[in-house]
Structure 1
Amino acid sequence: MIVEERQKIIAESVEGEVPGHKEMLSYGMGFFGVILVWTLVGTFLTFYYTDVAGISAGVVGTLMLVARLLDGVTDLGMGTLVDRTKSKHGKARPWILWMGIPFGISVVFLFAVPDIGSTGKIIYASITYILLILLYTSVSIPYKTLLGLMSQEPNKRSMLNIYTGIFTMLSTLLITILAEPVASAIGGTQGWTMVAGFCGLVIILTSFFAFRATTERAEVVSLDNPKTDIPLKITLKALFTNKYWLIITGYCVTAYTLNALLAGAGLYYTTYVFGNATIFSLIGFLLFLPTIIGFFFMAKLVKRFGKRNIALFVSILGIFGPLVKMIDPYSLVVFSAGTVIQGFGLLPIIMFLYAMINDTVEYGEWKHGIRTAGLVNSAASFGMKMGAGLGGALIGWSLAFGGYAGGLETQADSAMTVILALNIHIPLFLAIVQTILMWMYKLDEKYPQILADLQERNQ
């Protein structure tokens, strides 16, 4: 049975799954603010710490990894908290309302490191960075969980993810292209603080808007005992025996490590290899060019071929990007061409990943009789954050190993070798691993029968 026929059968069997385009648009707009902050931090924070605030690269790398691993523990706690939340507004939506303002304020403090000496800067950076990622968790986990709660119907869920992808692309492009030029025009720490203030205001407004305009529909309960909280021990066991969640979480770690390298290390490449930091805006745009083009065709392609098959194809295509860059790493034209090709590997992150994560919720419910959307999303989010942390740590540690010194016009040959590896050789290895994991993810072909079984149980 072809994908379109399977999805039609599911759509006819699922009742009450009716998020309209206006609601899906509102959800996507809410994600705009979340990704705005995520991109600002993931792309520019390492460079801000080393070249603006004057913190050593090795310390920055350690901070990135330790803080992200600590945050991974809170991810699981936040997911459990969302699953156990009982309010008139639902389970996920209240957290979006409550935590939007603190999160928006925290990003401003993050990019406002005062000149209080080397030790003082490290302490300030550690406190504000850990605070930001904890607050990010309290907003992002409910957002991701809300996608699964708005609809179980796979086509609607895919459309929700595409709406999310549109605003993810727009916010990512906005920050990637404009953040560095605007911050440099204003100058110093004040420039980055102003950029962060804009992002903080946006997240406050979009969080409130998303809260007001969305509706939770799917129940997050045990099928056998719907009114009783499930013990954490049982839910964790169900989670770690969910093979497709394990695969997609491994994919999250790999893909976000790759994404962190392409974003965070790219500014060092344009600054010291091409000799012009502003070229990073062009490279950032080219990296997302395949995504911009893909939006015009993706909805029809998903209906015809399914999320996983498209994700696998573009992941394979993305492997050739670093190979093209190897032809002449010092040519802007060659590097730009490789960047465009490599950008295809980012398509699953932007367009399919959250829908695929939430599909594993149904698999876990089908296999164990327990539906814990918050825990599944928080655990997958841990993979994303660990990947982002590993990417940031690799950048900091590798630069320190190569003898990088922030703020210099030229770097030592060893530092330049490291910058090349961070932008070309390590991303090639990660792209191959990412493709293997996506090949292992074969839930799409089983999902129609799983959802039909779940509908039959609930009758």
Structure 2
Amino acid sequence: MSSSAEIGIADQDKVTMGSKPRLPLSSRVGYGLGDLACVLVFTGMSSYLALFYTDAVGISASVAGLIILGARLLDGIFDAAVGAVSERTRSRWGRFRPWIMFGALPLGVFAALTFTAPFPGDTAAAVIWAVVTYGVCGLVYSIVNVPYAALSGVMAETPADRVSMNSMRFALGSIGLVATSVVTLPLVGAFGGSSGTPISIQGFTFTAAMFAVIAVILFFVTYRTSRETVKPVRTDRVPFKETLSAIFTNGPLFLVAVLTILGGVAFYSRLGVIVYYYIYSANAAPLVPLLIPLSPVAALVGSLVFSRFARRIGKRNLFIIGMAVQVVALTALFFVDPANLGVVIVLTVVHGLSGFTIPLTYSMVADAADYGEYKSGVRADGISFALVSIAQKLAFAVGGASVLLIGIFGYQPNVQQTSEALQGINFVVNLFPAIIGLIAILTALAYRITDAQAAQIRTDLNTGTIAVAKATRRG
């Protein structure tokens, strides 16, 4: 890691950039709507994918977990290719915006197809169909999501703008999580027709299709309201080998990627299996539509209320505080009787309020990308955000594959669970993410770029003298 002297900052008190967001509210909201769209077609509905596979289609929990894990690892690898190609895109629409425009509709189609099962009664065919549809959906999601994430680094220059953008992104994404949490199962039941069960294939298919249509519209709003204003200092086409060298020598970027994995696992891993906790451990199946939104709603509030403190104490320090709150709340939840819903609700809300750690890591990516350009003269927005997107996919993969863990503990769908299975569900939902959160805190201590340093780096890049000199020496 680099100290302030190493990155050429003689007096941090002279740094004045980033005190106020300068990006128009319409651009910040329009950008945030893109994450709402992502939640509707992928993140939010993925919270119900395991339940769809196990309880509607009839695939075993272990196989469902492997399908989710494998697909997310595959599209995580694909992210790097998308990042490399998108940052080299040259078009009248920009580098990243056209990927959103042209990828939105295919993503909506495959998001709907993921929640179909055209081979009733044939488990082998159902597994193959799940592998193909969810696998392709994940790949198309990468085509849209990686350029979308990279937009935050080229739409805003100041640390304050970047925190504001990503807080808006997280806030609207949280609204999407709340919406999917509250209405998904009721919609599945309503669209199920005469199936006679609240969890049916038909219900999931119609619900996913409705969300897909809304998401495609929101993606186009994001495209229309976004502008790419931050341009690379080097205007020539940078060799891919040189880009990789810039990435692999960017220590802060790799730390942010690790924090994204750990913070994502700590917060999101429980979302993929918490429905099992409420249904089987707490015996509160009728209250699931009200209980599942607790964390997303609290995270939305926490992001809007607490993210602003990043300007005072720094993004890293606020991240550490947020993770500490999560660890304490989750550890307490592990030891609380799940039937004591009052205490469970309070601790869940406390955990959710600390969800502001997620947008903090997003905004740290742009700072790390600036640092990489400052150090090497090469700007690698696409691959930088692809690296962190891979980290996010790994976090979601662990979360989605958590159903594999409860399968190992003996979970069986639609039956009374054994004490071992219930203890396993409790461990996976609460104690496991608490352990990951503790590791995240220790990792964050190694991140050294302050907000003042990030602002000064951006100022120096705007003058062009440092990076241009480095590029000239290489050329």
TM-score (norm 1): 0.91
Q: CA deviation at 1:149?
A: 0.9
* Aligned residue number for residue 68 of structure 2: 64
> Separation in 1 of the partners of 2:360 and 2:417?
39
* Aligned residue number for residue 334 of structure 1: 343
For residue 103 of structure 2, what is the amino acid of its counterpart? M
Q: CA deviation at 1:424?
A: 1.8
Residues 184, 438 of structure 1: alpha-carbon distance in 2 compared, 3 angstrom cutoff? farther
SS at match of 1:452: helix
Aligned Cα RMSD in Å? 2.3
* Aligned residue number for residue 214 of structure 1: 226
> Separation in 2 of the partners of 1:20 and 1:8?
22
For residue 58 of structure 1, what is the amino acid of its counterpart? S
Corresponding residue to 2:127 among 122, 131, 139: 122
* Aligned residue number for residue 236 of structure 1: 244
Corresponding residue to 1:431 among 420, 430, 437: 437
State whether residues 315 and 344 of structure 1, in contact with CA within 8 Å, keep that contact through their aligned partners in structure 2: no
Corresponding residue to 1:414 among 409, 420, 430: 420
> Separation in 1 of the partners of 2:448 and 2:345?
33
Corresponding residue to 2:406 among 399, 408, 412: 399
> Separation in 2 of the partners of 1:116 and 1:181?
25
* Aligned residue number for residue 149 of structure 1: 154
* Aligned residue number for residue 464 of structure 2: 457
> Separation in 1 of the partners of 2:391 and 2:307?
27
Q: CA deviation at 1:440?
A: 2.5
> Separation in 1 of the partners of 2:28 and 2:336?
44
* Aligned residue number for residue 303 of structure 1: 311
Q: Does 1:447 align with 2:451?
A: no
| Mapping for residues 318-329 of structure 1, pairs under 5 Å | 318-329=326-337
State whether residues 27 and 226 of structure 2, in contact with CA within 8 Å, keep that contact through their aligned partners in structure 1: yes
Residues 395, 190 of structure 1: alpha-carbon distance in 2 compared, 3 angstrom cutoff? same
| Mapping for residues 23-422 of structure 1, pairs under 5 Å | 23-114=27-118, 115=120, 117-187=122-192, 188-220=200-232, 223=233, 226-298=234-306, 300-330=308-338, 331-349=340-358, 351-396=359-404, 398-408=405-415, 410-422=416-428
| Contiguous gaps of at least 5 residues in structure 2 | 5-11, 193-199, 467-475
State whether residues 28 and 165 of structure 1, in contact with CA within 8 Å, keep that contact through their aligned partners in structure 2: yes
State whether residues 345 and 431 of structure 1, in contact with CA within 8 Å, keep that contact through their aligned partners in structure 2: no
For residue 150 of structure 1, what is the amino acid of its counterpart? M
> Separation in 1 of the partners of 2:285 and 2:448?
42
> Separation in 2 of the partners of 1:10 and 1:153?
6
| Contiguous gaps of at least 5 residues in structure 1 | none
Q: CA deviation at 1:164?
A: 1.3
> What is the aligned residue count?
446
> Separation in 1 of the partners of 2:31 and 2:43?
18
* Aligned residue number for residue 26 of structure 2: 22
Deviations 1:5-53 (A, max 9, x none): 96962259x9xx9531122221122221112223333311011111111
Give the % identical residues.
Answer: 26
Q: Which moved more, 1:168-177 or 1:273-282?
A: 273-282
SS at match of 1:9: coil
Residues 327, 181 of structure 1: alpha-carbon distance in 2 compared, 3 angstrom cutoff? same
For residue 334 of structure 1, what is the amino acid of its counterpart? V
Q: Which moved more, 1:413-422 or 1:52-61?
A: 413-422
